[in-house]
């Protein structure tokens, strides 16, 4: 009894051979029917995408490594992000008093001096 390979490996090898044969046949048919300009465009596209793949793989590798490093740093530090509290400006005196004890002229507490506005006219008439 001879040593036979598993069926899955033989089927995979057969499909690989058939796929290669199909690709070669299609390549011959396409090159015979296309014009030189269309063939040059197609080859440029195929080689351009082929040359882009290693760069794309490198970018994805670096991106995933940086994401993993950032996630590891977040898990190892265990520190929470800082909480920033912005307090509003101080209110005028008497603001927190009960309503009945406030003076009637509360508007005078909020009045500010009118700001002087200076204008510069650019491109005036000559």
Among 18-32, 62-76, 77-91, 95-109, top mean pLDDT goes to 18-32
DSSP percent split of the chain into helix, strand, coil, nearest 5:
60, 0, 40
d(C-alpha 28, C-alpha 43), whole Å: 14
Q: Per-residue pLDDT for 2 more than 70?
A: no
Average per-residue pLDDT in the chain? 80
Q: Which range has the worst mean pLDDT, 7-11, 14-18, 27-31, 69-73? A: 69-73
Instruction: Name the residue with higher pLDDT: 106 or 38.
Output: 38
d(C-alpha 83, C-alpha 120), whole Å: 43
d(C-alpha 32, C-alpha 24), whole Å: 12
CA distances from 7 to 3, 11, 17, 18 (A): 12, 6, 15, 16
Predicted TM-score (pTM) of this structure: 0.37
> Taking residues 100-109, what's their average pLDDT?
57
> Taking residues 21-47, what's their average pLDDT?
91
């Amino acid at each position: 009894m001879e040593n036979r390979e598993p069926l899955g490996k033989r089927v995979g090898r057969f499909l690989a051979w058939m796929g290669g044969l199909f690709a070669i046949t299609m390549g011959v048919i396409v090159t015979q029917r296309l014009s030189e300009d269309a063939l040059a465009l197609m080859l440029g596209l195929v080689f351009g995408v082929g040359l882009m793949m290693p760069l794309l793989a490198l970018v994805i590798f670096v991106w995933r490594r940086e994401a993993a490093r950032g996630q590891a740093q977040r898990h190892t530090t265990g520190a929470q992000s800082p909480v920033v509290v912005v307090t509003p400006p101080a209110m005028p005196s008497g603001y927190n008093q009960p309503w009945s004890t406030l003076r009637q002229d509360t508007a005078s507490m909020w009045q500010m001096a009118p700001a002087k506005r200076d204008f510069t006219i650019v491109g005036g008439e000559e």
